[in-house]
Amino acid sequence: MLNNLLDYEKYEKLEKRKKAYGICGECNEPGTGESWCKPCNAKRFKNNFKNWTSRNKIIDEFIQSQLNAIHPTKCLEWIPFEKFRNISYIVGSGFSKIYSAVWPEGHIKH
């Protein structure tokens, strides 16, 4: 009986997601947000781990927490320095420097 109830609750949640966000075009499962699929994003991000590093283990592990991102506006992205354009120094003091730059590709949208 408990298994049937848990299966029904899981089915209900999936149906609500399907109704709210449609079906992901990549994995054919109910979406997890508007133009966002958490499992697909996590998979793409994990597959790309080997292509980037900050060269700092602690920072890399922090950035890899992106695997738990639930929405495109609530996530971290690693942006290699080479991706920025029109970099200009603004101000610096103590241990910090502030720069301005353009990021032509922009953030994850979906």
Domain boundaries, the chain: 2-102
In this prediction, residues 15-27 reach a mean pLDDT of 87
Q: Rg for the chain (alpha carbons), in Å?
A: 19
Question: What CA–CA distances, in Å, run from 35 to 53, 56, 68?
Answer: 27, 32, 17
pLDDT of residue 47: 84
pLDDT surpasses 90 at 98: yes
Whole-prediction pTM:
0.56
Between residues 54 and 98, which one has the greater pLDDT? 98
Q: Which residue has the higher pLDDT, 54 or 77?
A: 54
Does the pLDDT at position 58 exceed 80? Answer: yes
**Numbers of helices and strands, H then E, in the chain:** 3, 2
89: Cα within 13 Å, side-chain hemisphere: 5
The strand pairing partners of 85, in sequence order, are 102
